[in-house]
Amino acid sequence: MNMSAERKKSLITTVHNQRKCSQVAKAAVLSSAMLARKNSSSRGPPGSAATFGARESIAAISDMLSTQHKKPVRSSYVESERVEWALKIACTISMITVCLHTPQTIEWFPPLQYIILASDFVSVSIFMLDSVLRIHYERIFRCDSSYLSNRWSQFSVFISVIHLLSFLLHVYQLIDKFFPFLHLDYRLWYGAIRSIRPFIIIRLIPLIVKFKLPKNRIEQLLKRSSQQVKNVTLFFVFFMTLYAIFGIQLFGRMDYHCVQPNTDPNNVTIMDLAIPDTMCAPNGIGGYECPAPMVCMQLNLNAKGEGFYGMFNDFGASVFTVYLAASEEGWVYVLYDCMDSLPSYLAFLYFCTLIFFLAWLVKNVFIAVITETFAEIRVQFSEMWQKKEVTLDEGFRKRLEKTEDGWRLIRLDGEVEMEGPKQKLQAMLRSMYFQCFVIIFVVLNAIGNAMFVYRHDETDVPRKHNFYIFEVAFTILFNVECIIKILCYGFRNFIRRGIFKFELILCIGSSLNCVKFFYDRNYFTYFQTFRLLRLIKASPILEDFVWKIFSPGKKLGGLVIFTIAFICCCSAISLQLFYSVPNLHHFRTFPQAFMSMFQIITQEGWTDFVVEVLRATDDNLVPFVALYFVAYHLFVTLIVLSLFVAVILDNLEMDEELKKVKQLKAREATTSMRSTLPWRLRVFEKFPTRPQMAAMKKADSDFPMPKVRGSFTHQFAVDHSLETTDLLDTEFEYPKRLMKAAAKRKISKHACERDVSELVKCRHMLSALRNCTRAPPRLASEHFETKTFVWRLLGCYLAAIRLLIGGYLAAVWRLIGCYLAAIWLLIGGYLAAVWRLIGCYLAAIWRLFGSYLAAISLLFGGYLAAIWRLFSGYLAAI
């Protein structure tokens, strides 16, 4: 008892000390973060490093606080790489088997059902074993860190149970097939439970993609992005509901058709309808009127007979019609039906506004929201897209080397400098003439490929033979080019360059195409066509644009992989849901299902496809099937396809720093164009562009001294007790070089005489400067002060004269402007008065003329009326 009490007491003390240590560590981190924030805000000017330091400290506090209650990371057998690889293999096997498990696919290859059964057994065993191991490791009944407390774990358990049920269902099917006397009565629609299995691809995502952001940032990012998508979805649903209600109130049930007389409304055949089937309107309400002998009759048709599309009978049918019309596919036929059934202006107004708001406005709003969300995700996940640990060959592509032209950045996988004959060959390959030669032959090859014509007669044989000789000649030419590059650079250096790899693949494929067996069957014909892609490298503008769009390949390639995976997942779900529907041949095999779901993405005739599926489906399941296809179309067209636009815009977007630089340059250019310097500042434009510089000759230093201003050396650096010429090497050595050049006849005589005169002036200035420096310091300073005072006095005098002249000219200009303005006002007032008088005169004349014509017309009308009355009375009497 004592031992147990002491042990319990020691455990309690240990837990208390751990809590105390964690609180102390938390307080230490808080104090250090606040101290860092204080230090960062105290040093440096505002707006420099202080802001960054404050933000960094705040981020550290938030990260520390968010990670206090996280479960500690523990290494165990369930987190090992082998378990991850086993789960990846199981997910892949499950996805493949669910795509192959259809009756028609098994009919083509009967042993496939046993292969599927064995593969499902392996995948289900891995999933169940993983769930059991994780439950044993993390426990299932602990509240804080149990296995089922995590949503990913709940999803994993659910998917594992679905796989187990699917496996048992397959076993049940085989037992019913081989033991029919048991009367188990297996039905095909039981296989709908396998439609949940394709969601296993969601479990594959965290195994492949590793997120490196903290959990709180991911949750915050998903919350903000989902809020934006939610807002624009509500915006879309609002307009959908609005136009659905408008459709019910405006059109309602349109069931009047042009039919033959004596047609039974309850039993209508295709022979009774008009060709094509035409809507009509009852008498007196406008719309289309049936030609004789057709009559307009109300028919009692169900939804499958009407075709689902174009119905406004109830709210559900109206929403379905509005969504299909908003996709801009087949909406004109609904418009024509509404125009035939009701007055046309209602249909025009309804569908024009529907296309504007739902098809154009809401779709572009979705694209804008997805682009903004993707940009925010890119900022948060920029660390994940960049490599933090890179090797020398992969991360660093250039190095700094000293060449004859100075220090240059040399590519590590670039062209290696050679010596001897290879150096001349390398210079030839780098020359512009050789590049133009290759581009010309690439263009000629493309023109030759485009000129080939198939006439499907006996003339194709000699034409194809001539084209074969043409292609062999070009293949030999490009193969020689590739061999020369390999000999020049060496195969190891050659294969490092991506463009050289591409050229080598083209050469190998084109060489195989020259074999007569492959050439007749067009197995490798595409390689000779791909030579045209080499022109992208020849155009720097096109190369830069293509690089911006398709690089980095992670974003666009990852999006393509995501789209393909999503289509495969939805195709497998649709395959398992609809393969048992009779008279529906779009979902018998996985390729058929994939093409059907891809057709919905292209939006080409997808409404006819959906209507066909709805007509083949049971009446009780029609709303759910329609909701499934509408949700799929909404997601792929408004979100998935918008992601491509967002990725391309993100690739074309410039860096933020480059944007700021360009904005500043544009602002400076605009300012320089719009503003003009005043006259008092334009005088500085006449000054020389640079001051006179001097270099130190006898200064001891380990580094070369730069040139400095001559005024600085006279004021601070010159010791007046020494000779100026001993310390300063001014830029007057140019006359010496000038005389030497004149002696060598490198410049003209006139230029030499002009520069020699400048030399004389420079010598006089130097002698004056030497006299000033030889004088005592006090006299020299008084000389310079006097000279400065005289110059300032002269400047003030000139400024006063300029101000007086400028004021006088401004006063004169203002008087002239006022005089001209007064003259212009007088002329304008005079012209306005004259115009008004002319207008009043013309108006009075027009009124008098109108009154005169009105009086004449009245008299003439009365005269004619009297004559007609007399004539009619005379005729009546006769």
pLDDT at 392: 41
Classify the C-alpha dihedral 724-726-727-731 as positive or negative: positive
pLDDT at 784: 46
Is residue 50 within 8 A of residue 33, CB to CB? The reply is: no
Confidence of residue 120 (pLDDT cuts 50, 70, 90): very high
Confidence of residue 860 (pLDDT cuts 50, 70, 90): low
Is residue 147 within 8 A of residue 140, CB to CB? The reply is: yes
For 80-210, the fitting CATH number among 1.20.1650, 2.30.230, 1.20.120, 1.20.1080 is 1.20.120
Question: Which residues touch 549 (CB under 8 Å, ≥6 apart)?
Answer: 556, 648, 651, 652
Residue 454 pLDDT greater than 70, yes or no: yes
Longest dimension (CA), the chain: 149
Cα distance between the two ends of the chain:
148
Residue 204 pLDDT greater than 90, yes or no: no
Structure-token pair, residue 692:
């006179």
Q: What is the chain's mean pLDDT, rounded? A: 75
Amino acid, res. 259: V
Is residue 489 within 8 A of residue 415, CB to CB? The reply is: yes
Residue 862 pLDDT greater than 70, yes or no: no
pTM: 0.62
Confidence of residue 275 (pLDDT cuts 50, 70, 90): confident
For residues 847 and 7, the model is more confident at 847
60-69, 88-97, 114-123: least confident range: 60-69
% of residues, the chain, pLDDT over 70: 65
pLDDT tens digits, one per residue of 779-800: 444 444 555 656 666 776 677 7
pLDDT at 451: 86
Confidence of residue 74 (pLDDT cuts 50, 70, 90): very low
360-364, 383-387, 537-541: least confident range: 383-387
CATH level 2 (architecture), domain 553-657: Orthogonal Bundle (1.10)
Residue 242 pLDDT greater than 80, yes or no: yes
Confidence of residue 712 (pLDDT cuts 50, 70, 90): low
Please list the residues that pair with 296 across neighbouring strands: 258
pLDDT tens digits, one per residue of 160-195: 999 999 999 999 999 988 888 888 888 888 989 999
Classify the C-alpha dihedral 570-576-579-581 as positive or negative: negative
CA distance 402 to 408: 6
Structure-token pair, residue 83:
């378990």
Structure-token pair, residue 108:
């083509």
Residue 710 has, within 13 A of its CA and on its CB side, a CA count of 14
Structure-token pair, residue 481:
């080019």
How many helices (H) and strands (E) the chain has is answered by: 35, 7
- Please spell the DSSP secondary structure of 491-518, one letter per residue: HHHHHHSHHHHHHHHHHHHHHHHTSHHH
Please list the residues that pair with 776 across neighbouring strands: none
Q: Does domain 419-533 have CATH number 1.20.120.350?
A: yes
Structure-token pair, residue 779:
């006299």
CA distance 236 to 523: 49
Q: How many residues does the chain have?
A: 878
Q: Render the burial of 127-138: b for 16+ CB within 10 Å, e for the rest.
A: beebbeebbeeb
Classify the C-alpha dihedral 427-429-430-435 as positive or negative: positive
What's the Cα-to-Cα distance from 441 to each of 437, 474, 478, 525, 535, rounded to whole Å? 6, 8, 9, 18, 11
pLDDT tens digits, one per residue of 27-63: 444 444 444 444 444 444 443 433 334 444 444 444 4
